[in-house]
């Protein structure tokens, strides 16, 4: 049976919409991470970028409306005139038209240039106010190291900052190029090996804001995430004091056994825990891992199940990761997890700091899909050949 061409087109369109719809719904079911809305800003710095966006958008819509209007007029006129076979008037070499479509875009671009330059100067890292909290950020394959200049506090994959105080980040890379991007507070800034870059912003409300490495840096580039935890100034002071204290030593039998495994299995060679060993910049500092909202560079919510999975199947969860698969048994992983859970910030509870704001609980829904260890892998790990 022969369909007219437009029927075929409609069929193809229908199939595309169905497949697209199915993909989109499957996608959102699995990926319930609240995608940061760039326009829902959490700092005046990001608001500058957002203002520029709307300005450019406004001009674009204006230009598009004019082009579409001419196009529609042309099509409608052409259809009405269908029976005329004379050639339409030729406009090649029309000086007025040529001048018009050269000068008008120039004027539009010149108008856009002024606010763009203004924003560039405001957002420049060197323009950070004097009272800014300085944090050194080092991008590594595939995680972020944060060191607070004044207090010496070290965190990983989380920038904790007070609302209303500027934060200046000194960005560097330890290996390849990365790009620091927490869309709701500031634009992207590349981390270039051998080169120091700066970025600054002032969080203007409390919350947990998601970030992502925005420069292809290897296998787990997409798994190199981070968060900004913006706290009220009082809560920030409590956090800062707690972050300088070692966690309480483990009491429960399982956790004590885990603390021994932490040494026996060689975890201490790369990871530091305050009061146990000193930080050597190989792997993230774990002094207060129990209080972090996420693990594995922000890809997994910090829950018991996820920690066990992460410890046992490091390379499946985060391909290309430097942490080796130690071939831990389920019991060993549970014991280590019990120990890591005790490493919390003394006197500071991140869950309580937010009340019902998004933290660990919300980051459970915020969990991106992570590769599940498949059966064969599980068997291979349990019965290594
Ligand atoms: Cu680091 Cu992409």
Predicted TM-score (pTM) of the model is 0.77
Atom of ligand 1 nearest to the CA of 141: 1
* The pLDDT of residue 363: 44
Ligand 1 centre to CA of 107 (Å) is 38
Distance 282 CA to ligand 1 centre (A): 17
Looking at per-residue pLDDT, the higher value among 349 and 229 belongs to 229
Closest CA to 229 of 170, 184, 174: 184
CA dihedral 256, 260, 261, 264 (to 10 degrees): 180
Ligand 1 geometric centre to CA of 314 (Å): 18
Question: Atom of ligand 1 at shortest distance to CA of 176?
Answer: 1
Cβ–Cβ under 8 Å, residues 116 and 52: yes
- Which pLDDT score is estimated for 36? 83
Check if the beta carbon of residue 314 is closer than 8 Å to that of residue 325: yes
| Mean pLDDT for the stretch of residues 238-261 | 92
**Atom of ligand 1 at shortest range from CA of 217:** 2
Ligand 1 geometric centre to CA of 139 (Å): 8
Span from the CA of 67 to the centroid of ligand 1 (angstroms): 40
Q: What domains sit in the chain, N to C, each tagged with a CATH number? A: 32-75+99-231 (2.60.40.420), 253-361 (2.60.40.420)
33-47, 126-140, 157-171: range with lowest mean pLDDT: 33-47
Residues with CB under 6 A from ligand 1: 139, 142, 178, 213, 215-217, 221, 224
Alpha-carbon dihedral angle through residues 291, 214, 282, 359, given to the nearest 10 degrees = 0
Token duo for residue 256: 């004590």
pLDDT at 169 over 90: yes
As a whole-number percent, the residues of the chain with pLDDT over 90 amount to 57
Which of 45, 358, 23, 307 minimizes the C-alpha distance to 188? 45
Judge whether residue 383 has pLDDT over 70. Answer: no
Q: What pLDDT is attached to residue 6? A: 57
pLDDT in tens, 205-240: 998 899 999 999 999 999 999 999 999 999 999 999
User: Span 145-162, mean pLDDT?
Assistant: 94
For residue 358, pLDDT over 80 is answered with no
CA 307, CA 239: separation in Å to the nearest integer?
Answer: 23
Distance separating alpha carbons of residues 33 and 130, to the nearest angstrom:
36
Give me the pLDDT at residue 15, please. Answer: 52
Residue 297 has pLDDT above 80, yes or no: yes
Determine the distance separating the centroid of ligand 1 and the alpha carbon of 215, expressed in angstroms.
5
Name which residue sits closest to atom 1 of ligand 1, judged by CA: 178
* Most distant CA pair in the chain, distance: 95
> Using CA atoms, how far apart are residues 246 and 298, in angstroms rounded to an integer?
23
What contacts 174, CB < 8 A, 6 or more positions away?
138, 139, 140, 145, 193, 281
DSSP β-ladder status, 189-191 and 225-231: unpaired
Contact predicate 162/232, CB 8 Å: yes
| Nearest atom within ligand 1 for CA of residue 214 | 2
Q: Band of the pLDDT at 32, cuts 50, 70, 90?
A: very low
Closest atom of ligand 1 to CA, residue 222: 2
What pLDDT is attached to residue 10? 55
Q: What is the pLDDT of residues 13-30, one digit of tens each?
A: 555 554 444 444 433 332
In the structure encoding, which two tokens stand for residue 322, read together? 């430097």
Residue 8, pLDDT > 80, answer: no
From residue 136, how far is each of 42, 200, 236, 343 by CA, in Å? 21, 12, 18, 23
Q: How far is CA 11 from CA 5, 6, 19, in A?
A: 10, 9, 12
Strand bridging mode 197-201 / 189-191: unpaired
């Amino acid at each position: 049976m022969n369909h007219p061409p437009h029927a075929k087109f409609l069929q193809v369109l229908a199939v595309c919409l169905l497949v697209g719809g199915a993909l989109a719904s499957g996608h959102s079911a699995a990926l319930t991470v609240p995608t940061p809305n760039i326009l829902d800003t959490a700092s005046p710095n990001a608001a500058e970028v957002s203002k520029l966006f709307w300005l450019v958008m406004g001009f674009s819509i204006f230009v598009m409306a004019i082009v579409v209007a001419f196009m529609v007029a042309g099509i409608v006129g052409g259809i009405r005139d269908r029976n005329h076979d004379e050639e339409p008037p030729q406009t090649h070499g029309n000086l007025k038209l040529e001048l018009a479509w050269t000068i008008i875009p120039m004027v539009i671009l010149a108008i856009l240039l002024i606010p763009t330059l203004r924003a560039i100067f405001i957002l420049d890292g060197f323009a950070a106010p004097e009272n800014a909290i300085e944090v050194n950020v080092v991008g590594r394959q595939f995680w972020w190291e944060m060191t607070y200049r004044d207090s010496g506090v070290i965190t990983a994959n989380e920038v904790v900052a007070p609302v209303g105080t500027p934060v200046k980040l000194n960005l560097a890379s330890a290996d390849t190029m990365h790009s620091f991007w927490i869309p709701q507070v500031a634009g992207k800034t590349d981390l270039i090996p051998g080169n120091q870059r700066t970025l600054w912003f002032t969080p203007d409300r409390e919350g947990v804001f998601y970030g992502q490495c925005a420069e292809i840096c290897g296998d787990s580039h997409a798994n190199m995430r981070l968060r900004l935890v913006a706290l009220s100034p009082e809560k920030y002071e409590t956090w800062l004091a707690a972050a300088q204290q070692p966690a309480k030593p483990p009491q429960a039998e399982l956790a004590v056994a885990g603390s021994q495994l932490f040494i026996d299995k060689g975890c201490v060679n790369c990871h530091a825990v305050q009061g146990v060993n000193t930080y050597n910049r190989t792997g993230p500092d774990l002094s207060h891992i129990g209080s972090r909202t996420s693990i594995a560079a922000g890809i997994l919510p910090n829950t018991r199940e996820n920690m066990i999975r992460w410890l046992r199947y490091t390379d499946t969860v985060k391909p290309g990761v430097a942490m080796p698969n130690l071939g831990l048994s389920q019991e060993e992983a549970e014991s280590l997890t019990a120990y890591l859970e005790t490493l919390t910030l003394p006197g500071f509870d991140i869950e309580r700091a937010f009340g019902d704001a998004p933290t660990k609980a919300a980051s459970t829904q915020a969990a991106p899909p992570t590769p599940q260890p498949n059966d064969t892998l599980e068997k291979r790990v349990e019965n290594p050949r």
